[in-house]
Amino acid sequence: MNELHPRLAAVVVALTVGCAGPSPRAFAPPEPAGQGGSIERHIEYLSSASQPSDAGASDAESPDPPGAAPAIAIRPSAAEMTARQWEHVASVDGVACRAELASEGVRFTSLADVAAPNRVGCGVPHGVVVTRGPTGIAYAPPLLVDCSLARELASVERIVQEEADRHLGTPIVRIATLGTFSCRHRRGRWEDTLSEHSFGDAADLASFEPKKGRAIAIARDYELGKTAFGPRASFLRAVYARLRGETKLTFVLGPEFNPEHRDHFHIDSGYRWW
């Protein structure tokens, strides 16, 4: 990973000085790992100034509070939301956070800190590229995230490994990811605001590869709509429920949330506006 560090840093720096034109719209996320995604392709994607609006966008996280009725949302203006989202991530102590990651055994490289968002509002204040998490899970492509999300991996992986042991009898050694940092708007009701992916504090997890046996893909193995499950679906459903209930993550969205999340778990440590 060390040889990639300067390239990734250059991408982030480039994004902070203007990753989009004067009228930002939704940017397409990186291609799924299952379609040959690699860190190089990820970098290519991040390097592109803009993508066709909504093309292939697979993530539509909603910043509505968990369990909130979808009625009248009294929320800050889009500009205020963007400023608060940035401040939420930027206020983290990057030095202490990275020291915490190192002490947990996370394998990562650090990107240059970013002091201010780009003109669109995007940026990763304390960027890291995580290749392995605290329990040894490899991420493919690696996670390009803010340190504030990376430090939540300890609780995420603990749940993943406990449920893997319970339902599969073998540990998870690799997680395929669909995307992390991506400067773009949300879709749906909140489309005037930026996705948490725009600040590097969100990640999309697509499949879990056990030490023994084939990968467990959310798209194939979640078995949405069924009432009886095999061990793979039971594993995924248990992980999803516990990520939602037992972590400090702000949002955990999956197949049960909406069709856009049929193939991945979106996790983020984003700003809580409510």
Residue nearest to Zn ion (CB): 266
Minimum CB separation of residue 22 from Zn ion in Å reads 26
Nearer to Zn ion, 59 or 221 (CB): 59
Nearer to Zn ion, 235 or 265 (CB): 265
Cα 87 to Cα 83, 114, 122, distances in angstroms: 6, 12, 11
CB 120, min distance to Zn ion, A: 18
Closer to Zn ion at the Cβ: 168 or 194? 194
**Shortest spacing between CB 140 and Zn ion, in angstroms:** 17
Q: How far is the CB of 268 from Zn ion (least distance, A)?
A: 7
Angle of CA points 180, 145, 268, to nearest 5°: 70
**Closer residue to Zn ion (CB): 153 or 202:** 202
What's the closest the beta carbon of residue 60 comes to Zn ion, in angstroms?
8
| CB-nearer residue toward Zn ion: 98 or 181 | 181
Give me the least distance between CB of 266 and Zn ion, in Å please. Answer: 3
- ∠ CA 88-90-96, nearest 5°, is 110
Q: Which residues pair with 236 in a beta bridge?
A: none
Q: What angle do CA 261, 151, 12 make, to 5 degrees?
A: 75
Residue with tokens 């594993």: 235
Least Å from the CB of residue 178 to Zn ion: 8
Distance (Å, rounded) from C-alpha 154 to C-alpha 273?
Answer: 25
Residues lying near Zn ion in the complex (CB under 5 A) are found at: 59, 202, 204, 266
Q: With b meaning 16 or more CB within 10 Å and e meaning fewer, what string describes 106-135?
A: bbbbbbbebeebbebbbbbbbbbbbbbbbb
Kindly tell me which of 146 and 168 has the beta carbon lying closer to Zn ion.
146
- Residue 100, φ and ψ in degrees, nearest 5: -65, -45
Q: Which is nearer to Zn ion, 19 or 60 (CB)?
A: 60
